[in-house]
Amino acid sequence: MKLSNLGEFGLIHAIQQLSSKRSPGTIIGIGDDAAVLKIGPSKLLLATTDMLIEDVHFDLSYTDFYSLGWKSASINLSDVAAMGGLPRFCLTSLALPVHIPVKAVMDFYRGFNALLRIHKTVLVGGDTCSSTSGLVISVTVLGEAKKRTVISRAGAKKGDRIFVTGTLGDSGAGMELLKAGIRENKRGTRDEGRGTKNRSRESGGRTKDDNSELRTPYSELIMRHLRPVPRVEWGRRIALSGCASSMIDVSDGLSSDLLHLCEESGTGALLHGDRIPFSPALLRSADQLRKPPLEYALSGGEDYELLFTVPSARMKTLEALRIPVTEIGTITTGKAMLQVSETGSKIPLRPTGYNHFKVKKD
Please give the Cα distance from 60 to 332 (Å, whole number): 43
H or E element, residue 208:
none
- Contact characters 222-261, ligand ADP, x per CB under 6 A: -----------------------------x----------
CB 337 to ligand ADP: min, Å: 23
State the residue number with the nearest CB to Mg ion: 33
**Strand 26-28, strand 35-38: pairing:** antiparallel
Please give the Cα distance from 169 to 177 (Å, whole number): 12
Q: Which is nearer to Mg ion, 185 or 251 (CB)?
A: 251
- Residues 63/49, Cβ–Cβ less than 8 Å: no
CB 299 to Mg ion: min, Å: 16
Q: Which is nearer to ligand ADP, 100 or 115 (CB)?
A: 115
Interface contacts to Mg ion, rule CB under 5 A: 33, 79, 249, 251
Instruction: Using CB under 6 A, pick the residue from 3, 4, 12, 215 that binds ligand ADP.
Output: 12
Instruction: Using CB under 6 A, pick the residue from 3, 4, 14, 15 that binds ligand ADP.
Output: 15
Q: At what angle do helices 232-241 and 65-82 cross, to 10 degrees?
A: 10
- Residues 99/135, Cβ–Cβ less than 8 Å: no
CB 147 to ligand ADP: min, Å: 19
Q: Give SS3 for 38.
A: strand
Which one of Mg ion, ligand ADP, none is in contact with 56 (Cβ closer than 5 to 8 A by kind)? Answer: none
The strand ranges marked E within the chain are 26-28, 35-38, 43-53, 86-96, 122-130, 136-146, 161-165, 246-249, 268-272, 306-310, 325-332, 336-339, 346-348
Which one of Mg ion, ligand ADP, none is in contact with 32 (Cβ closer than 5 to 8 A by kind)? Answer: ligand ADP
Which one of Mg ion, ligand ADP, none is in contact with 12 (Cβ closer than 5 to 8 A by kind)? Answer: ligand ADP
> Any contact of residue 302 with ligand ADP (CB under 6 A)?
no
- Give, rounded to a whole angstrom, the gap between the first and last alpha carbons of the chain: 24
Q: Which is nearer to Mg ion, 33 or 54 (CB)?
A: 33
Please give the Cα distance from 316 to 307 (Å, whole number): 18
Which one of Mg ion, ligand ADP, none is in contact with 31 (Cβ closer than 5 to 8 A by kind)? Answer: ligand ADP
**Strand 122-130, strand 86-96: pairing:** parallel
Query: How many CB atoms lie under 10 A from the CB of residue 141?
Result: 28
The residue count for binding ligand ADP (CB under 6 A) is 9
DSSP state of 342: S
- Residues 202/104, Cβ–Cβ less than 8 Å: yes
CB 243 to ligand ADP: min, Å: 21
CB 171 to ligand ADP: min, Å: 14
Footprint on residues 28-67 left by ligand ADP (CB under 6 A): 30-33, 50
CB 251 to ligand ADP: min, Å: 4
Instruction: Using CB under 6 A, pick the residue from 54, 64, 79, 295 that binds ligand ADP.
Output: 79
CB 176 to ligand ADP: min, Å: 21
Site residues for ligand ADP per CB under 6 A: 12, 15, 30-33, 50, 79, 251
